[in-house]
Amino acid sequence: MTQIYETGAAIYVYLTLYHAGMERSELIEKYEAVEDAARDEVLKCGGCISHHHGVGKIRKKFMERTVSPNAIEWQGALKK
């Protein structure tokens, strides 16, 4: 746990994946597997997928579990 707030805690995990000869796509695949498992557990425990940094591209796939379809549609329309 890296920060504690009145409304909860923030957990930052810094992960380094390196293996000589491993392709970049393999590293990304392994990172996403760890990230997805961690985010899934956080959501199961009532947490959220972002802190003050926003969701970003990596966590985008979790949006449907955290906001309504109307909110996703509204965000898409706003971006257009």
pLDDT tens-digit series, residues 13-37:
666 666 778 788 888 888 888 888 8
How far is residue 53 from each of residues 17, 25, 73, measured CA to CA in Å?
23, 25, 21
**Residue of 12, 14, 18, 31 marked catalytic:** 12
Question: Can 14 be counted among the known catalytic residues?
Answer: no
Find the domain containing 19 and state its range: 3-79
Number of structural domains found in the chain: 1
pLDDT band at 51 (very low <50, low <70, confident <90, very high): low
Q: Find all residues with CB under 8 Å of 3, minimum gap 6, and list them.
A: 9, 10, 12
On whether the pTM is more than 0.85, the answer is no
